[in-house]
Amino acid sequence: MSDARRSAPHVARNAGPIADVLGGLLPDKGLVLEIASGTGEHALYFAQVFPSLTFQPSDPDPAALASIDSWRVDAGAPNLLPPVRLDAREDQWPLDRADAILCINMVHISPWAATEGLMAGAGRRLPSGAPLYLYGAYRRQGVATAPSNEAFDLSLRSRDAEWGVRDLEDVVAEAAKHGLALESVVEMPANNLSVVFRKA
């Protein structure tokens, strides 16, 4: 194993269920941009499951970029591109268009400005009808929040006051500002949600 490769235990648990949702969502071919790719394990998994698509992983963290590239090189997946530095909060992204955008476990582990930037960037780069897929823990009006998610929220905020489990309604409202309409919300393992938007 390359020294740069990092591993997140949750990927082994959620990559399969996420791929099941993506199977009915992603186009048959094209470029899929992943925002905040972290270790790079999700990007590699999806590249292997969907060989007709090209996956572009990204992250703002140099250590994450090194991990992503090490997984890519070691696996030799031909449809997984070298990672690019991308901070969702910035106006300038390293690519102008994507046929789908994925963002897994970023919204709660980042300042709200990252979600604002994600929606603005996705709104500018997705063509009409293209999906934006989010995965993670959210609060929902009228739905009891799982105790584990409440504890998770406290843990996040203790690490960084700008982090925390977001209200899904706030995320949906921010997406709408940029022409992204909520399509579906899918219950996932461990009290997480798959949240699907479409570019109008």
Question: What CATH number does the domain containing 24 carry?
Answer: 3.40.50.150
Helix axes 41-49 and 9-23, enclosed angle (nearest 10) = 40
Q: How many domains does the chain have?
A: 1
pLDDT for 46: 98
In a domain, 3, yes or no: no
In this structure, what token pair is assigned to residue 77? Answer: 């997946």
Mean pLDDT of 90-104: 97
Q: Residue 59: which domain range?
A: 9-199
Over residues 56-84, the pLDDT tens digits come to: 999 999 999 999 999 999 999 999 999 99
Q: What is d(CA 164, CA 108) in angstroms, rounded to the nearest whole number?
A: 5
Whole-model pTM?
0.94
* 30 has pLDDT over 70: yes
What is the per-residue pLDDT across 137-185, written as a single tens digit (0 to 9) for each?
999 988 878 888 888 889 988 988 999 999 999 999 999 999 999 999 9
Q: Is residue 149 part of a domain?
A: yes
Mean pLDDT (whole number) for 118-137: 98
Report yes or no on 47 lying in a domain: yes
Top-confidence residue, 116 or 162: 116
Averaged pLDDT for residues 41-62: 98
Tell me if 97 is assigned to some domain. yes
What pLDDT does residue 2 have?
55
